[in-house]
Amino acid sequence: MKLTKLMPALCIAITLQLSGCVTLVTMETVRPPVVQVAHDQWKVLVVNRYDAAQHASNKNERVLEVLRDGAYQAAGGVMGAIYNDSTFVLVNPDLAVSLPSSSATTQLSPTEIKDLYAGYSPHLILTLDKFDTRLGKEVETYEDEDGFRSKTANYDLIVTSSWSLYDSTGTVLDRTTIQQQDYYDSRAVISGLLAIGPAMGKAGPEINRLAVETGYSYWDRFYPQPMLLVRQVHQRKGLNGAVFMLYTLQFQQAIDALLPLAQDAAYKHQGKAAHNLAVAYEATGNYEQAIHWARQAESKGDKLAVNLIELWTGAGIIK
């Protein structure tokens, strides 16, 4: 018998032999746009609502200036993405409109929406609501050949920008926070004490670079994104055939196999079938059905479905 004829059975055997009753599947797929707007909504206004002096916890003037510049760069990043997008028109290409908010969580008021529309006639209003930076730290211990130990604190620079998207009536279409981070510096830990971290006020160029990336990353939400999904799925008698289909990227076949089981109240693993079905729908990009079946699985007490819903909520897929 040829080796190729043995492969499907071999893959199934490997799947069944994985520890426990849960396994991981890795699937190449395309996530649909997180933000979807009508075809007649193509004129975009960008508004910077972040006021560093009002919202920053650190009132050091040098840090405030870094935060102001970073917010300016974040707004510039998203404006650059819109300007280069032939599907949309940026109605204020030179500079983001400055309209500081009284609170980082306050929406644009009806009066502000009306005034912005009167001045620019946008179909969409994108606001930068909040900008922030911080240093993430991880301490590593090293031991040389003589047994002497030393510690090094490694710092990542983390930049976040928060955005809201409105239509011309003031309806909120999207709200999310985008994060970018990169390695920044390392410091020796002396005498068992924590190292003194880098000064945020000196990190301006690096903050600006990451800020621009957050702006571009926000605009990615308007377009499908190729991605590699790694998901936990249940293994049970009756489910393993569909699990193999997910392994081999036969997503529609997996849906066809799982749907009757997820709908069958007499099937003792109905909740687990519903969870696997949610994963199969996610792989096809159909998040409406994926969320529906994840909710069904959650109602049956399925813990994997709870994790999946939390993951989608964090990614902004579930509002």
Same domain flag for 72 and 56: yes
Question: Which of 202, 222, 242 is at the close of a domain?
Answer: 222
Q: How many domains does the chain have?
A: 2
- The CATH number of the domain holding residue 172 is 3.40.50
Same domain flag for 240 and 180: no
Question: Which of 206, 222, 238 is at the close of a domain?
Answer: 222
Structural domain boundaries enclosing 152:
43-222
Angle between helix axes 270-284 and 303-314 (nearest 10 degrees) is 30
37 is a domain residue? no
- The CATH number of the domain holding residue 26 is 1.25.40
**Residue 312, burial from CB neighbour count under 10 angstroms (0-12, 13-18, 19+):** middle
Same domain flag for 93 and 55: yes
**Residue 14, phi-psi category: left (phi > 0), alpha (psi -120 to 50), beta (remainder):** alpha
Same domain flag for 76 and 202: yes
Same domain flag for 206 and 240: no
Beta bridge partners of 26: 230
The tens digit of pLDDT for each residue in 137-196 reads 888 888 888 888 888 889 999 999 999 999 999 999 999 999 999 999 988 887 655 557
17 is a domain residue? yes
Paired sense of beta strands 43-48 and 97-98, if any? parallel
Same domain flag for 231 and 101: no
297 is a domain residue? yes
What is the model's pTM?
0.74
The tens digit of pLDDT for each residue in 82-133 reads 999 999 999 999 999 999 876 555 799 999 999 999 999 999 999 999 999 9
Same domain flag for 19 and 133: no
Tokens representing 272 are: 């687990």
Beta bridge partners of 84: none
Question: Which of 163, 198, 222 is at the close of a domain?
Answer: 222
Same domain flag for 86 and 175: yes
Measured CA to CA, the distance from residue 70 to residue 145 in angstroms comes to: 45
